[in-house]
Amino acid sequence: MIADRHVHCNPASIKIFKEIFVQSGMQTVIYTWRKHKMGTLNKVLLIGRLGKDPEERSTPGGARVSQFNIATDEYRGEGEKITEWHRVVVYGKTAELCNQYLQKGRLVCIDGSLRTRSWEKTPGEKRWITEVIASRITFLGARSKDSSEHREVVGEESSF
């Protein structure tokens, strides 16, 4: 269960998630949302491993961007493993730190929201992609075999 796992992320998020997930039943979830007058929520919390090193780029305005994919695993039945891939986008100083410290195989905790964007590859051929826009990243596990590190990186607000 989500509430049983210890993860470094936004304390306010943990409080809300515990209140929703620890309680059982749909009535409790609805009551919690009404009590906090929250309306809707676009929140993603993932723990996974990078599939390859981050890709670094800049926006036309000069903001730093880091993009990478992480894999999360789910085990069902008799050892059946299902891997899901998630595309993560990070902006600003946090992107610089991700490009500096993250590498293929590194375990990370991503706290963010979903965003879907579209573009036209060729005229009439519209493409869509859903990405996790990270607001907070915690580097889990060791950077190298010699060291152990849990480093939390808080993202900057962006309008991208």
Say whether both 50 and 81 belong to one domain.
yes
Say whether both 64 and 137 belong to one domain.
yes
**Between these two residues, 46 and 148, which has the higher pLDDT value?**
46
52 lies in some domain: yes
Say whether both 25 and 64 belong to one domain.
no
Per-residue pLDDT at 66 exceeds 90? yes
Say whether both 47 and 31 belong to one domain.
no
Say whether both 72 and 147 belong to one domain.
yes
Count up the domains in the chain and report the number.
Answer: 2
Say whether both 17 and 51 belong to one domain.
no
160 lies in some domain: no
Say whether both 24 and 61 belong to one domain.
no
Q: Which domain holds residue 20?
A: 7-41
**Between these two residues, 14 and 108, which has the higher pLDDT value?**
108
Say whether both 31 and 87 belong to one domain.
no
1 lies in some domain: no
**Between these two residues, 25 and 95, which has the higher pLDDT value?**
95
Q: Compute the distance between CA of residue 99 and CA of residue 89 in angstroms, rounded to an integer.
A: 12
Beta carbons of 137 and 157 less than 8 angstroms apart = no
Phi, psi of 12 (to 5 degrees): -65, -40
Say whether both 37 and 93 belong to one domain.
no
Q: Compute the distance between CA of residue 56 and CA of residue 64 in angstroms, rounded to an integer.
A: 8
pTM above 0.85, yes or no: no
pLDDT at residue 11, as a whole number: 57
Say whether both 20 and 57 belong to one domain.
no
Q: What confidence tens digit (pLDDT) does each residue in 104-128 have?
A: 999 999 999 999 998 888 888 899 9
